[in-house]
């Protein structure tokens, strides 16, 4: 049986039970209600009233029962109409939800349900719309990711095709194109690795074993890795000393800081400077990388953490996979911290925050 007749019959059954209970209660309680009035009438009429008492009681009972019986059809009709309306509303909401679910299953993620009302059915519609909106965002991200990956693959694949054709035509020798082919293959490998890491990091599937870590260890590793890079670019790098300890994974925290320094070196013109500072951030420690580059326009500040987003396509294409900052923020948050950015006309500042390690947890450093 369909839902509507089942709901309607259930309402009617409830109405019939209620009417039966009403008649039973009236039959049991009405004598007590009109008995007092009959006594008053008998007392006022004297001896004649006592002889008329049975007729008075019968008349009173008949009048009250007649009124009840007369009102019952109207009450039943009103209740039936109410049952019809409420049953239709419930069935309509369920039907809409069913249609919407089928549309979602068919890939129509833009489908939404009306959210009128404040009851559970309206809450169900609102939850359905939130689910549909989330699925729509996921689908948009999936489509965008496919397009972005295809775009990123196009350049190295086109280069490899060109080198292959040059080899086939005898224009270039294997020895001449070998370094270029190896460079493009490394680019493809880096892209594949970064895509795998960003997908796992955003999904929370990167296992990070955090431990008390001295910030100075991160700074020393960064100095060893980037000192020559900054000298070659004629950019001054300033790294502080710090006694602070944080809770972090050494490899992943170093990866985040390395990404920030690499970007700072790339976007700071010759003669500029990059300064790293370490400061208290409440319950955490903030490592901030400031550069003297051109800065980031305000409308791009949050979007730079999106996959493959570039502020200047022409200037940055080919200099990275385009997901470095996405990975960096995801890793920072997986370690219980965060990565934010501020920027103005005098450069940009990336603030990498990690939770402070409790002093008692610090191991002795050799």
Beta bridge partners of 355: 284
Residues of the chain with pLDDT under 50: 314-318, 366
Q: CA 353 from chain center: how many Å?
A: 22
d(CA 348, CA 332): 19
d(CA 246, CA 279): 12
Beta bridge partners of 238: 275
At 352 the three-state DSSP class reads strand
Catalogue the E-assigned strands of the chain. 211-214, 236-238, 245-248, 273-281, 284-291, 338-344, 347-355
Compute how many other C-beta atoms are within 10 angstroms of the C-beta atom of residue 304.
Answer: 19
d(CA 256, CA 327): 8
257, two tokens: 């800081």
Asked if 93 and 125 count as a contact pair (C-beta separation under 8 A), the reply is: yes
Asked if 252 and 337 count as a contact pair (C-beta separation under 8 A), the reply is: no
Compute how many other C-beta atoms are within 10 angstroms of the C-beta atom of residue 337.
Answer: 25
Q: What pLDDT is attached to residue 37?
A: 64
d(CA 64, CA 69): 9
Q: What pLDDT is attached to residue 316?
A: 46
d(CA 291, CA 261): 9
Q: What pLDDT is attached to residue 243?
A: 92
Which fold is adopted by the domain 121-202? Helix Hairpins (1.10.287)
Task: Please tell us whether the domain made up of 211-361 is placed in CATH 3.30.565.10.
Answer: yes
At 344 the three-state DSSP class reads strand
Asked if 114 and 125 count as a contact pair (C-beta separation under 8 A), the reply is: yes
Q: What pLDDT is attached to residue 48?
A: 61
């Amino acid at each position: 049986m369909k839902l509507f007749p089942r709901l309607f019959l259930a309402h009617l059954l409830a109405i019939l039970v209620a009417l039966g209970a009403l008649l039973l209660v009236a039959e049991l309680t009405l004598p007590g209600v009109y008995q007092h009035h009959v006594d008053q009438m008998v007392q006022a009429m004297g001896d004649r009233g006592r002889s008329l008492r049975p007729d008075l009681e019968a008349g009173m009972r008949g009048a009250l029962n007649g009124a009840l019986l007369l009102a019952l059809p109207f009450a039943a009709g009103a209740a039936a109409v109410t049952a019809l309306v409420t049953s239709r509303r419930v069935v309509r909401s369920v039907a809409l939800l069913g249609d919407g679910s089928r549309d979602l299953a068919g890939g129509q993620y833009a489908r939404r349900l009306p959210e009128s009302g404040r009851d559970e059915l309206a809450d169900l519609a609102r939850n359905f719309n939130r689910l549909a909106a989330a699925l729509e965002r996921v689908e948009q991200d999936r489509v965008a990711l496919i397009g972005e990956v295809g775009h990123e693959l196009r350049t190295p694949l086109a280069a490899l095709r060109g080198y292959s054709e040059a080899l086939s035509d005898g224009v270039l020798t294997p020895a001449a194109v070998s370094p270029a082919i190896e460079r493009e293959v490394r680019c493809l490998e880096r892209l594949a690795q970064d895509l795998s890491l960003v997908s796992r990091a955003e999904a929370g599937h990167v296992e990070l074993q955090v431990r008390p870590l001295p910030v100075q260890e991160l700074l020393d590793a960064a100095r060893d890795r980037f000192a020559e890079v900054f000298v070659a670019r004629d950019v001054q790098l300033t790294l502080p000393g710090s006694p602070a300890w944080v809770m972090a994974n050494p490899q992943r925290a170093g990866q985040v800081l390395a990404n920030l320094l690499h970007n700072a070196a790339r976007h700071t013109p010759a003669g500029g400077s990059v300064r790293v500072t370490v400061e208290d951030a409440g319950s955490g420690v903030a490592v901030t990388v400031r550069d003297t580059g051109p800065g980031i326009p305000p409308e791009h500040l949050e979007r730079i953490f999106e996959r493959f987003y570039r502020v200047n396509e022409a200037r940055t294409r080919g200099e990275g996979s385009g997901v470095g900052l996405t990975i960096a923020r995801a890793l920072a948050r997986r370690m219980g911290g965060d990565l934010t950015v501020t920027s103005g006309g005098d450069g940009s500042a990336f603030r990498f925050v990690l939770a402070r390690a409790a002093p008692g947890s610090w191991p002795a450093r050799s």
